[in-house]
Amino acid sequence: MIARFDYHVPASLDEACALKKEYGNTGIVVAGGSDVYAKMHLGDHLYDHVIDIKKIEDMQGIRWSETEGLSLGAAVTHHEIERHPVIKERYDVLVQGVRTIGSLQVRNRGTIGGNICTAAPSADGIGPLLVLDASCVIHGLGGERTVPLKDFFTGPKQTVLADDEVLVRVTVPTPAPSYGGAYFKYGRRNAMEIALLGISVYLEVADDGKTCSAMRIALGTSAPIPIRAQKTEAYYIGKDLSDRQVVEAASSIILEDASPRNSWRADGEFRRSLLKLLVPRTVRTAYGALTRE
Ligand SMILES: Cc1cc2nc3c(=O)[nH]c(=O)nc-3n(C[C@H](O)[C@H](O)[C@H](O)COP(=O)(O)OP(=O)(O)OC[C@H]3O[C@@H](n4cnc5c(N)ncnc54)[C@H](O)[C@@H]3O)c2cc1C
């Protein structure tokens, strides 16, 4: 049973921000509630005030244009994302990531904004958005600001959001017409599993079809926050991605980017050996998935 709380349904962003500021640590914003209510049920987190933002107009909807790219309302569910025709066609790596979240029921409730704001290193929606170069549109009582997703996380389960701020939308530029993307989640089972490791890759190649011209790699559960593997990315630039040995050689660099820790799910040593094996493998998968015009 959940302990008693007051339930607020603000009609506007400003109202939501004012309530969030007013109630501080005694209140919590919820969107889908899949994370918040589960924790409240367990008695882990108790709040006197729940501020339900899911129906606020500005947080709804998926918009896309070739020039502006993709704009996802923070309250858009994972299931809406995985079914959207343009996202499936142009942002497939995001679909690969959100499809691994929980179960259909969880994806039907859980929102992309909630996934980002949990700031969990294991969150499966974050890595794909990191490699797609997403940004967060944040609303506060003082107005709106945009923060690149890579700068959104400040520490374990901590974000740049101030007391009076909420995430409103996530914007994602249009990827190159020809790119390869892949998400790999390592877990002990195929559903209802928190990632022991999450690897996201976005790559582009030159006209010869094999020389790497852009590489973005994001790692989940490999550091206290979701990260980009910048040294490994730099290694790949200019390399021949059709050469398996060249791709595999990144295994000697990847641990310069990652610092997985011991947890009850898996120890750090195991995660380090997975990273060395699975990052090159995910790069090969992304290369194989290269869309060619
Ligand atoms: C059974 C189960 C399985 C799960 N499996 C996975 C999994 O495989 N992978 C995975 O990544 N996650 C998983 N989750 C976690 C969770 O469902 C997802 O992270 C989901 O996307 C959270 O979205 P939500 O809208 O339900 O968040 P909520 O529970 O509503 O909120 C989560 C956090 O984000 C904050 N928040 C939400 N929206 C905003 C906003 N717009 N602005 C500011 N703060 C906001 C809330 O205050 C809260 O701190 C699982 C959860 C359950 C219960």
Q: Strand 158-159 and strand 166-172: pairing?
A: unpaired
Contact 266 CB / ligand 1 (< 6 Å): no
Residue 222, ligand 1, Cβ within 6 A: no
- Percentage of the chain beyond pLDDT 90 is 83
pTM here is 0.96
| Domain annotation for the chain: domains and CATH numbers | 6-52 (3.30.43.10), 57-172 (3.30.465.10), 180-288 (3.30.390.50)
User: Is residue 263 predicted with pLDDT exceeding 90?
Assistant: no
Distance 250 CA to ligand 1 centre (A): 33
Over range 165-179, report the average pLDDT: 96
Residue 73 has φ and ψ, to the nearest 5°, of -60, 145
List pLDDT tens digits, range 5-34. 999 999 999 999 999 999 999 999 999 999
β-bridge mates for residue 269, sequence order: none
CB 27 within 8 A of CB 19: yes
Q: 284 CA distance to ligand 1 centroid (A)?
A: 30
Residue 117 CA, closest ligand 1 atom number:
34
Atom of ligand 1 nearest to the CA of 35: 29
Nearest CA to ligand 1 atom 32: 114
The DSSP annotation for the chain comes to -PPP-EEE--SSHHHHHHHHHHHGGGEEEESS-TTHHHHHHTTSS--SEEEE-TT-GGG--EEEETTTEEEEETT-BHHHHHH-HHHHHH-HHHHHHHTTSS-HHHHHH-BHHHHHHHT-TT-TTHHHHHHTT-EEEEEETTEEEEEEGGGTEEETTEES--TT-EEEEEEEPPPPSS-EEEEEEE-SSSSS---SEEEEEEEEE-TTSSBEEEEEEEEESSSSS-EE-HHHHHHHTT-BTT-HHHHHGGGGTGGGT------SS--HHHHHHHHHHHHHHHHHHHHHT----
- State in Å: Cα 81 to ligand 1 middle: 15
Residue the block writes with tokens 């595999």: 248
The CA distance from 247 to 165, in Å, is 42
Confirm or reject: Cβ of 51 under 6 Å from ligand 1: no
Q: Which of 54, 108, 118 to mutate to test the pocket of ligand 1 (most atoms within 8 A of CB)?
A: 118
**pLDDT band at 211, cuts 50/70/90?**
very high
Q: Say which residue the tokens 């244009």 belong to.
A: 65
Centre of ligand 1 to C-alpha 291, Å, is: 31
What is the pLDDT, as a whole number, of residue 293? 47
